[in-house]
Each structure stands twice: as structure tokens, then as C-alpha cells.
Structure 1
Amino acid sequence: MTGFSAPAARADERPVVVFDLGGTWFRAGVLTGTGTVTGLRRVPALGGRGTAPGSVADLQRRIVDWLVRTADEIRDERPEPIDTCAVSLGAAMNHRTGEVFGAAPLFGPARTSWRPADELAARRPEVRWTVVNDVSALAYALLADDSTGRRGGAAAVTISTGIAYRTIDLATGRIPVDRTYGLQGEIGHLPAQLLWDGKALTLPCDCGTDGHVSSYSSGRGIEQLLHRLPAGTWGGTEAAPRTEALAAFSGAVAAGHPGALRVLDAVTEPLARVLLTQACLDPEVERTVLTGGVVDSLGDAYLASLLGHLNRLGLYGMSDRDPAYFAGRIVRGRSDGLNALRGAGFHARGITDGRVRPA
């Protein structure tokens, strides 16, 4: 059992226990028939970039233990029976088979061959388990988002501890993936460069390779850049703890600090160049929805910086004719941070109107 085949295509409003396992927090709740998430709980994520390769298997066992224990607790607390649990997992995984190849925010540079849905089904066979990549879950949530329309293509992008991108056909619910490896949109691991004062800064990605988009544009990438620069450059203070750097940076951006805005433009440019190439090669994606902790914390200033790069770089024959071209196609998503939970639950149900299809 992989948990990645689309369920029967029919409307379904049964409650689903939903999980979202990210690099910072593990969250859980119940998706109701109205599409809301109730009983939200969260704990600090297990693992992290310091995870030693030899301990990854142990960490995976602890993740399964936490999922089973939490599912049992939630199901016992509910007045109605719940027989479905849906997991959104921040990992590169085969969308066809459910095999997890790696998760830099959780496992560091380790490569894996892990099938969590199989392990969960073995532990609680009476429960129907589904496990889906977190950005795929965000894409499934777009099927129930009236702002994206019901036809054409859309994409979900998460900018958080990691970065990834996923396109989806809104009419069929199909997410196109590689025929063999079941992947799509791992843009955080594309090569990138960041220039500061005319010099290229080389920063590591959580996956263990230098110079990726996530090295500069993810939450952790921004954090390490802030600590590479003198705090006074962007409005921070030298005495501030490392853990408070992103919050201080967000405040400096909101206050319009010139140095902070300069840093913001530096870290959004690598992602902007990827989105520009994507817009050129896949024009049927008419709406790209940005989500994640970085977008939520930096708000409208983040989107303005990203759009500024796109407008400056330009898309031949389109944005030069239509100055609002990118503003109409790249937008911020809901800021409650629950769409991965919703999308995982919608996928498990087969989405409310039956539009999820296999890859």
C-alpha cells in the first residue's frame, strides 16, 4: 500500500485526521466536512539539518511512532469514528509509488528509500493511510480554491525551510510527474547564485550541496545570509540570538529599512529567475500561489520584491505588452498555513467533487 493512488472519484465529507510534517513543526488536526481544520496541535519537528546519516532510520521510526500515537489520540477524542488519516510530508518522494528519496530539512544530506505509508498501514491496518508530498498537498488544496478557477493549470510554491513547486491540472486534478522517478518541481535544488557587492556568495543547501536556490531563498538560506552579513547592514543587532534573526529581519523589512530591503531583493532573485523560466516554458499555468513561512512572515514586501525582479527581467512578447502580466499570475496564498493539511485531506477523500486523478 503506497497511499498515492487517487481514491474513488466521488464527493465525500467524512472527517479525516490530517498531518503536516515540515522542517520546523509537525502539525495535526481533523479536516471537517466543511473544509476547515479543527483541533490543531503542533510539536517541534523531529530531526533537522544536524541529523547524522546513521540515525535517519531511527528518526523515521520515531516519526511513524509519533504519527500513530497522535492519530490514536485524535481518533479516541472524536465523537464520530474516523477511519482515514492523511499525511503531508516535506520530502522529495515518488508521487507514483510513495518512496521517499530524501528530505533535507528533516534528514539533512542523507538519501533514503523509505515507504512511510506501508509502515503506517502495517501498524494500524484498520486505518486508511495516505502520504503525499507537502507541495503536492498544497496543489490539491488549489482544487477547492475559488480564486484559481476550475480550468487550466495552476501551481503551488512553498518557500519555507525548503523550496519546491508543483503544477496541477485544475480540470482533472492530475499532477504531472516524471514517469520513472515520480518527481516534479524540486526547484529548491536547482543551481543558483547570489551576488553581494558584486561578489558571488557561496552558501550551502541543507541537502549538502553548495549554491542551490534553497541556499539563498529558503528560510534557512536567508538566515545564513543574515549571519554572513554585519547585522547593521540589514537593521539587526549583533547581540540578537541566531534564532531571532528572521523575526528581526521581518521587522526591519516591514519598517522599510533600506538594507533589509536590499537583502530581500537579493534573496528573492534566485527564485524569480526560476519562476520566469517556468512561465516561459509552461504558459498554461495561469496562477502560481506562494505559501510558506517565509512568504507569510515577510508579507506583501516579499511579493513586491519577487514581482519587481520578474518585471525587470521580463518575459518576451508578453510582460513587455502587459505590465500587469506577472501580478495577475503570481499571488500569495492563504496565510493561515493550513493548506497542506487541507490538501492532504482532500487528496485522501478524492477531493470534494472527485477531480483527483492518478499521476
Structure 2
Amino acid sequence: MTGRPAPTPAQPPAVRTNPTAHPMRTAAPGTGSGTPATEHSGTPTTAGTPGTPPAEDAPASPDPGSPDPGSLATLTAARPAVPAHAPGATLAADVGGTWVRWRAGGAVERVPSPSRLRWPGRAVADLRRDMVELLGRAAPPGARAAVSFGAAIDHVTGVVHGSAPLWGAADEPYDLLGALRAYRPDVTWTLVNDVTAALADFAATRARPGTRRVGYLTVSSGIGLRIADLERSVIPVDGWGLQGEVGHLAAACPPELAGLVCECGGHGHLASVAAGPGFVRVAERLGLAGAADVAQWLPGALDAGDPAARRLLGLCVEPVAQLIRTLWCLDPHLDLLGVGGGVVEGLGAHYAAELRGRLATPTSYAARGYSPSWLEDRLVLCGPGDVDALRGAERIGRWAPRIAP
């Protein structure tokens, strides 16, 4: 492949300490509960300009004749010099649309994610290169690295099918695992979806002897589900290496909410109503003042018993309740289900009460309403720190269930 030389990887930005803001109380809610982190103030880098944010009118694609900045050839050419191996070195990372967190044997570090959510004017190929370089620089020499990645991933091949928060509507497959191996071949890479990592963490602390199947549903900047069969010790996936991409199924919602746009570019998806950005869109559809800032005012409005706030919450929670009813209808052996993520954590007891109340309400003979004791035994509403995908990434190599088609 010919073209201009690959850019030299930028050095990590300076470090400063900053408390972690609550996911539901930020403009762009996302996953990120868990260990307090050290925050880097850096930004995705442009070639030759470390730490400089891209201009909003930057070209949407590389110059003609240039190699794809996210391609394996370019990343191989841009490999950093690697010092001697450190036996036993590890890296665990959790990548979301808002933040990237990692731990390499010490304290947790956190940097803004090189994502479409944060950098809407940056080309997807550049965002992918930024991500590979960021993770590659974080890995110690010769490390075993486990990455929890917020995208639809083929768990067998490591190919990413898409991620609305990270790459918007771009849905062409991207061999992220291959790119990481090309950039840092000295590192042994393991790549899993962030919900898979969260499930590993949830099951490690919550599953009991006799639990047949355990699931974890995250409601954050996106929505995803993962289920493990503990009797067979497997997380089953389909022919594309996927399981539980429920956020992009059609939502069960009233006609007044029909056709709401999803972050992936589709319409009427579960995430378009029930995820963090969905709360904004539903508030706009209802004509509520300050819809764009719903994450800031909704918790207080619910505390005050505001009727419009309660209606908004009910409309956004009902599709999630319908999904859970369907899960239990189809799989009576789903003995334990955790529900967490930034939206659930941010709205706390209000979200838990709304969801439990809707699940207790009969809808048909197939869903006769679940008693409080039945729900108490099977449904866990997870608070801040209860489930952490970064911890899950650290557990994933030691966890018994294998991922298999």
C-alpha cells in the first residue's frame, strides 16, 4: 500500500485527578461505574499534532491516495518501540463511548474516549486508529490484555460489527482484534463486549449454587443483554459471534413514540426510547421544557413527584419491562437477572420502583404479574459500583463459562 507515511503515535497526555461524575448526571450518560479513576485531560490526536482536537470542518475521510489510518498496514507501520518484556504484566481496559478506563497493575486511569459521541466531526477511520493507539500505548510489554469494548463484537473472531456511541452509523465490519495484534504483537489480546465483561463481574458475586442461567442487562448510552448458561458453562453466540444486541430490536411503545431515531441511525429501536439518549428524545416528543438537559433535572423532578417526570419515566421503562417479561416467558430457567448501567444507577430507587411495579402488573395469562418475593429472588437492580466492566475484564480470563457458537 502506498501513500503518506503513517503518523507517529502521540505520547499519553498529562494526568490530573478529578472525581468521577455520575453517568445519569452528565449530558452524555454511559457506563462507567466502579473504581474511582485517575483522569487524563487528553484528546484524540491528529497526525503530527498531539493533544489537539480536530476541527469541526475536518475532512470526513483521509486524503486521496493515503492509506486508511485504521488499516492493519498503517497500524503495523506505526508500531511503537517496545521495551523488554515484564513477566506477568497485565492490562484490563473498559472502552465506552464517553470514557476509556484501564488498569495495568496499579491505579485505574481514565481518559476521554476517542469516539463519535465526543468527536462528531472526526472520520471513523481516524477514531479507530486513535483507539488502537490508545490501547496499544497502555499495554505493558509482553502483557496479557483483556479489553471490554462497548460495541457489537464477534466474540469468536474479534471483528466489531458496529457501535453507535463510538462510530455512529458506520456498520462495516472492523477487525479490531487484528488491528491491536498488528500494533502490539508482543501483547496477548482478549477482546469481549462490555456487557459480557459486566456479566462476568455480576455472576461472580451474585450467582448462587443451583443458578441455571444468569443474565445482565445494561441500560446506559446504549442497551445490551448477555446471558450465561452455568449448567453447560457457556455463553452461547450465533454465527456472527453475537448475543443479546437487544437495544436495536423494535421497541414495544405507544403510537405517540413511534419512529424515534436511534443512535445507530435506525428508528423505533428499544435504545431510541429507553437508553440515555432515548430519554432526551421522549422528552422532546412530549414537548417537555429542557429536554436536552433531562439527565440533570429528572432525578430532582421525580423526587418532587412531578407528574410529567413520572410519565416520562414510565414511557421509557415500559419497553424494558416488556423485554424482561419476554425473557422470562421464553426462558423459565433464567434464574437471575441483573439490570444496571448509567440510567439505572442515575435514577436509582425511582427506576427500580417503576420497573418492579410494571413487572408486578398482569398483562396477559402469559405474564400474570410477578410477586414481590418472586422478583426479589430473581431480579437485581444494580447501583453504582455493584457491577464494573473493568473488573469483569480482569475476571474474564479466569471465568469458567466459555464463549461458543
- For the criterion TM > 0.5, the same-fold answer is yes
Q: Which moved more, 1:246-255 or 1:106-115?
A: 246-255
Indicate the residue corresponding to 1:199 in structure 2. 256
Distance 2:373 2:115 in 1: 42
1:28 to 99, 102, 106: 102
1:306 to 355, 379, 390: 355
SS in 2 for 1:39: coil
Distance 1:43 1:173 in 2: 35
Q: Which moved more, 1:93-102 or 1:328-337?
A: 328-337
Q: Cα–Cα, structure 1 residues 293 and 255, in superposed 2: closer, same or farther, change >3 Å?
A: same
Are the counterparts in 1 of residues 228 and 236 from structure 2 also a CA contact under 8 Å?
Answer: yes
1:56-205 counterparts in 2 under 5 A?
56-71=124-139, 75=140, 83-149=143-209, 151-178=211-238, 180-195=239-254, 199-205=256-262
Indicate the residue corresponding to 2:33 in structure 1. none
SS in 1 for 2:361: helix
In structure 2, list runs of 5 or more residues that go unmatched. Answer: 1-87
Q: Which moved more, 1:126-135 or 1:306-315?
A: 306-315
Indicate the residue corresponding to 2:331 in structure 1. 282
Indicate the residue corresponding to 2:71 in structure 1. none
Kindly provide the amino acid, as one letter, of the partner of residue 64 in structure 1.
V
**Larger of the two Rg values belongs to structure:** 2
Indicate the residue corresponding to 1:78 in structure 2. none
The yes-or-no answer on 1:212 pairing with 2:212 is no
Partner deviation per Cα, 1:274-300 (whole Å, 9 max, x = no partner): 111111001111111011100110012
Q: Cα–Cα, structure 1 residues 42 and 173, in superposed 2: closer, same or farther, change >3 Å?
A: farther
Partner deviation per Cα, 1:328-358 (whole Å, 9 max, x = no partner): 32212352276211111211x333xxx1324
In structure 1, list runs of 5 or more residues that go unmatched. Answer: 1-13, 33-37, 76-80, 233-237
Identity rate, percent: 37
Q: Cα–Cα, structure 1 residues 183 and 147, in superposed 2: closer, same or farther, change >3 Å?
A: closer
Post-superposition offset of 1:216: 0.6
Indicate the residue corresponding to 2:278 in structure 1. 221
Q: Which moved more, 1:150-159 or 1:291-300?
A: 150-159
Q: Cα–Cα, structure 1 residues 171 and 346, in superposed 2: closer, same or farther, change >3 Å?
A: farther
Kindly provide the amino acid, as one letter, of the partner of residue 40 in structure 1.
V
Distance 2:374 2:387 in 1: 28
Distance 1:322 1:316 in 2: 15
Partner deviation per Cα, 1:10-41 (whole Å, 9 max, x = no partner): xxxx67321111122211124x7xxxxx5122
Q: TM-score, normalised by structure 1?
A: 0.80
Distance 2:98 2:352 in 1: 22
The yes-or-no answer on 1:345 pairing with 2:394 is yes
Distance 2:218 2:316 in 1: 15
Indicate the residue corresponding to 2:25 in structure 1. none
Kindly provide the amino acid, as one letter, of the partner of residue 101 in structure 2.
R
Are the counterparts in 1 of residues 317 and 355 from structure 2 also a CA contact under 8 Å?
Answer: yes
Post-superposition offset of 1:117: 1.7
Distance 1:139 1:17 in 2: 19
SS in 1 for 2:305: coil
Kindly provide the amino acid, as one letter, of the partner of residue 63 in structure 1.
M
Kindly provide the amino acid, as one letter, of the partner of residue 250 in structure 1.
P
Q: TM-score, normalised by structure 2?
A: 0.71
CA RMSD of aligned residues (A): 2.6
| Higher normalized helix content (fraction of residues) | 1
Partner deviation per Cα, 1:157-197 (whole Å, 9 max, x = no partner): 1111100111002345411111x1111111101111433xx
Q: Cα–Cα, structure 1 residues 286 and 319, in superposed 2: closer, same or farther, change >3 Å?
A: farther
Pick 1 or 2: higher relative contact order, CA cutoff 8 A, min separation 6: 1
Indicate the residue corresponding to 2:402 in structure 1. 357
Distance 1:317 1:227 in 2: 34
